[in-house]
Each structure stands twice: as structure tokens, then as C-alpha cells.
Structure 1
Amino acid sequence: MKTRFSIRKVIYALAAATLPALVSMPASAQAPDITRIVVGFAPGGVADALARVMADKIRTQVGGTVLVENKTGASARLAVQAVKAAPPNGKTILISSPSPISIFPLTYSKLGYDPDKDLIPVAHLAQVRLVASSGVGQPYKTMAEYVAWVKKNPGGQGVGLVTMGSPTHFGLLAMAKSIGVPLTPVPYKGTPPIITDLVGGSLPLSIDAIGAQMELYKAGKIRFLGVTGTERSPFFPEVPTLKEAGISGFEEASSWFAAFVPAGTPPATVSMLEKALIDATKDAQVRAKMATLAMEMTGYPGDTLRKMIQSERAHWKPIAEASGFKGD
């Protein structure tokens, strides 16, 4: 009993001596050092994959733990709003696609945020090409043949896409105008049902990201008729751009992912994150991993990203206004 009493006394004495020191420790020493990368998409998609690779690579530069938070809902607007409301200390980073930043200010009267005032562009990370796809059972093998076919078949004017009010949507409207056919956007809840209808032959054409379709293309289950952008995809150089195929409207429609932080974040912190993220996009392992999703790493600085956003918005503004589409 005496031995137990002595040990207990020592434990109590150590606790009593340590407690004041713990209480006096600064909050930063008590709380874990966590950086959050917020994405507005569910786990398992290309945005989530990119965020997790970035989180792993910037860990040593930013220090502490880097976590990915999937904040889905409202077409990724909830993610933007969450980052807007976060402390401007560099510990919350948004990775976004173009629509919430470049397009939604044109289509929502009550957006809940102003991307130009509430966010600071940090770095452009990657480009993701869209591709016009069809099933192998369709009678056309090129975009020129598709245009000739759709002009003769008014019932085949539906084109599958994932998001209304997006560059894909407005690019399709521009394409319809360029070929003189009133194409109809057919919204889907995701890429898998689009692929099902393409392979089954009930959907004549779709325009969606390459990544989720590339294995089916390689297996000969679907055809790639043309990619977006002004240059051919480095992953599929045999596929012409839509512009090369005589289709206007998709030069500015390739998707991308970029990083942002809340307004008010100190310039030195922004510069540190910019360097960390750009360095990550140049890493050979990162590029190899993202190549499996047909994601082209870019690594443009924040100032370049800001100019790209303004240019994109200016490009899509007259098309969005002419369409009359509203996201509200």
C-alpha cells in the first residue's frame, strides 16, 4: 500500500507541475496545424484526385497536416462560400473548376459570393480537355459526318453534358450556331449514365471530360470525334480539335482546376502557396498520376490565372446573355 501511495503521489505531483505550463502554452502549440484543401466535388472524381495529390506534395512546404475536404452541393457554390468565410491565414485553399468562378457570376443574380472580391487567385494547376464522343454503332466517324447526319435527322439533335450553365453548355450553343442546327443540351447527373447511353446508341453525341472515357475509347467502345481547345491533346494526338474539324465554339471551353484563398490572406502567404503549388505541378510523379486521368498540368501563377478568368468571362458573357439561361 505504501508503494502504491508513493507512485500515486508522484503522478499527482507531475500533473500539478505540468498543468500550468499547458495552460500557458500558446493556442498554436495546443491546436494541430491543419491546412484544408476544399473541393466542391465528391470523392473519387478528377477534382478530388488532383486535390489529394496536391495535398501530399505541398505538405512539407506549408507544414503540419494537409487534409482534403469534399464540400459538395449547389454546383460547388457551397465550397466557394466556405472558403470565402474561412480565416484569411493560408490554412484554407479552394480548388475550383471554371464554372463557379468564371461563369456563375453571369448566370446567378444571387450567387452568395463575388469571386473577384472574396477570393485571391493563387495558381492555375491543370487543364482537362472535353471531347465530343459517340458510340461506335453510329453511322458517323468524324465531326463533319456527324454534322451532315444531324442536319438530316432532327430527332438526333440531343447532346449529352453534365452541367447546365457551364462552358460546355455555352460552347454547345455556340457550336449549334456555327453549324446552323438547333442542338439540344441534355443534362445528365454524371459521366457514367452518359457513357451508358453513348454505348447503347440512344445518345447521338456527348461533350464531357476525356478522363472518365479514355479507357472505353482505347477499348474501341466509343469514338472521340474532336477535343476542345486550340491544340490537340498530348494524350490523344490522333484526335483533331473541334476547331480543326470545322466546329466553332469550343476554343475556350476546356475545363481547368485552379487554387484560391480567401481575400485578405497576406501577400507573403499567397506567394508561399503559389510556389508550393506550382512546384507540385512540375513534379514528375504528379504529372504521371494525373496523366492517367488525361489531366494536363499547367502551373501558371496567380496573376496569369486572374487574367485568364477575366478573359473567359468576357468571352462567355454575350453567349450567356443571348441564351437567357439563369442559374437561380
Structure 2
Amino acid sequence: MLFPNPLRRLAAALALALGASAVPAMAAPASGDAPVRIVVGFAAGGALDIFARALAEKLRVSLDTPVLVENRPGASARLALENVKRAPPDGKTVLISPAPPFTIFPLTYKRLAYDPDKDLVPVAYLADVPLVASASVNQPYRTMPEYLAWVKRNPDKGGVGLVTLGGSIHFGVLSLSKSIGVPLLPTAYRGAVMMLTDEIGGTLPLGIDAVGGQMELYRAGKIRFLGVTGTRRSALLPDVPTLAEAGAPGFETASGWYSAFVPAGTPPATVARIEKALLDAVKDPVVRDKMSALGMEMNGKPGDALRKLIQAQRMQWGPVVAASGFTASE
């Protein structure tokens, strides 16, 4: 299948990143101490892997110890979490995780191999990953209010593209559907490239995915941005309203995030040391600029704030997930 030029360039860039990121983030230990492992649940080359490697370079200096990135992809990041859960609580293993294993999965999976509240200690809330609703420039609507008016006139065309069922975007679409009284259908794709291909081709009226994966097509004039998730406008897209601002509620807590955790039982002083090192790292201008290009906004909040965020988001999504009847399976 031949993709438009921006999509081919995106695929080429990802392939290049995959090759480059196969290089370890650090050289072998020189001090004799065991290195710190940063464990991520996705393959090398993706945005989270690149973020972890940027953090590793900063932690090597601030912790004065070798730091390695270990990729353990599979099971929507649960394999990585389970690996960290089993690690010794000595401060030598750090998980960098997206939100779903802590906020959504406890609501959608009947059984998990970990307890999100007992098996890991929240260390730091590191970065936000804004998501944006987009549509082809050839669609008759230019704004979210115009899209909502259009889909109310065309309720049989209520498909909304996303890359994963059972995530916050899925349940945000269901919330919006209830709010506007139109049967919107969350439509899952194998990846963002396939979703955006259908979007540009006009067969998908609306898609929602991370900002970073859509920016090249947006700059090329292939798609329009109609609204971002969250409660405030993204610094990456200051002229694009939030979906709530644009009359599409349900996505206020749908933005993605990346945060750090360590195994339960890690001494508080060790947790505090890692927390400080991570918060200092995400404040670094080099890290902020590098990750901004990949669609991330550095946050930098301590572990206590992360713990409260997880509980609040789980409470937010609980009734929506229950009403949907959705359950996740392997």
C-alpha cells in the first residue's frame, strides 16, 4: 500500500529510530556497582524508549552510577510492570510507565498479575502526552462544533478512529456519544499510520491520537486539528482548543502520561533520591526540547501527586467503564 509522502517519511523516521536506539543508553559500569535499570514496556525506537534514554543520560550524572534502558515489550506494558514488581527493592530498578496499567486496566481486566496500589511505589509524574482529534482537510467541517453538528445530521457516520480499545480515548468517545445523543463508534486500528490513511482518504470522519504522530501531516496541510484532550490547551498547540472548550466533553482526563515507579519496599530515602533526580532531569531544557519534538510536555511532579492523580483518574473512569460493559482480554 502506498502512503502519502508524509506517511512514508514518518515510517522511515521510525525505522531509523529503531536502528539508532538499539545502542545502549550507557557504557558498561566502571565503578563495579550494579547499574540502575530503567524498564519500559515497549520496543526500542518508540517515543517512550527515546524518553527513557534521555532520562538515563541525566541520571547517570545525578546518581553517579551507570544507567541502562531495558525494553520489555508485550501485554500493553504489563510485562514490564511485572518484571519491576519482582525486582529487589534496592533502587536499582525503575519502571517508566504509561497511565493505563494503573488507571484503566484495574477497571477493565478481571484479573491482573499485579496490584497497582501495593506492588509499586509512585516516584514521579514525568510527562504529559496530549492527544488531538483530527480530520481530513477535505471534510465539510473545520471545527469541533461543526463536526458535532455534522455527525448529528449523519449519525450513521459516527466512527471515531483510535489505536487501542479499552483505553481512555475509547471511554472518552463513549462519554461524548452519551452527551450528544449520537451513537459514536470507537473504531480500533492496528496503528496510527493506518488510521491516518483512512482519515486522509475520507473514509474515517474523525481520529484521535497522540499529537506527535500527527504533526507532520498537520504541517503538510493534510489534516486539521479540531481539539486536544485535557483540561488546558497544549503548549505544543496553543491555538487548538481543548475538546471540552469546543463542546465535546468526556476527554478531560484522557491525555496520556508517563511516570516513574519502583518496587514496593524500596526505602523512602532511596525513593526520594530517585524522585529528585528524575524531576531535575525533566526540567532540563535539552530534555524538554527533545521530547517536545516527539509530542511530549514535561511535567515534573512528585510521587505523592502521582498517587493522587492515579486514584482520581481511576474514580473518574470507573462509572464510564462499568456502564460500557467493556472487559479486556489477552
Give the TM-score taking structure 1 as reference length. 0.89
User: 1:53 corresponds to which residue?
Assistant: 54
In structure 2, give the amino acid aligned to 1:162: V
Partners of 2:204 and 2:211 in 1: how far apart? 17
Structure 1 position 302 matched with structure 2 position 303: yes
CA offsets per residue over residues 156-177 of structure 1, 9 Å max, x none?
2111111111111111111111
Q: Which residue of 2 aligns with 1:91?
A: 92
The sequence identity of aligned pairs, in percent, is: 62
Corresponding residue for residue 119 of structure 1: 120
Q: Secondary structure at the match of 1:303?
A: helix
1:270 aligns with 2:271: yes
Report the residue type matching 2:270 in the other structure.
T
Task: Give 1:64 deviation, angstroms.
Answer: 2.8
Q: May I ask how many residue pairs the two structures share in their alignment?
A: 301
Q: How far 1:33 moved relative to its partner?
A: 2.2
Q: Does the aligned pair in 2 maintain the 1:128–1:294 contact within 8 Å?
A: yes
Instruction: Give the structure 1 partner of residue 132 of structure 2.
Output: 131
Superposition pairs of residues 127-276 of structure 1, within 5 angstroms: 127-276=128-277
Partners of 2:174 and 2:312 lie apart in 1 by 19
Per the TM alignment, residue 143 of structure 1 is displaced from its structure 2 partner at its CA by: 0.8
1:121-162: CA deviations, max 9, x gaps?
Answer: 000000011111111111111111111111222332111111
> Are the equivalent residues in 2 in contact too, given 1:33–1:63 (CA < 8 A)?
no
Where structure 2 has 5 or more consecutive residues not aligned to the other structure, the ranges are 1-28
The offset of 1:105, in angstroms, is 0.6
TM-score (norm 2): 0.88
Task: State the structure with more CA Rg.
Answer: 1
User: Secondary structure, in 3 states, of the residue corresponding to 1:258?
Assistant: strand
Q: CA deviation at 1:31?
A: 5.7
> SS where residue 314 of structure 2 aligns?
helix
Residue equivalent to 1:290: 291
Where structure 1 has 5 or more consecutive residues not aligned to the other structure, the ranges are: 1-27
CA RMSD, Structure 1 to Structure 2 (Å): 1.5
For 1:216-272, what per-residue CA distance to the aligned partner results, in whole angstroms no more than 9, with x for missing partners? Answer: 111211110000111111121111111111111011111100000010111111000
Which shows bigger deviation, 47-56 or 145-154?
A: 145-154
User: Match for residue 11 of structure 1?
Assistant: none
Residue aligning to 1:313: 314
Amino acid at match of 2:63: V
Q: Which amino acid aligns with 1:98?
A: A
CA offsets 1:5-63 (integer angstroms, 9 cap, x no match): xxxxxxxxxxxxxxxxxxxxxxx999652111111122222211211111111111223
Runs of 4+ in 1 over 4 A off after TM superposition: 28-32
Aligned counterparts of 2:321 and 2:309: Cα–Cα separation in 1:
18
Equivalents in 1 of 2:31, 2:300: separation in Å?
Answer: 35
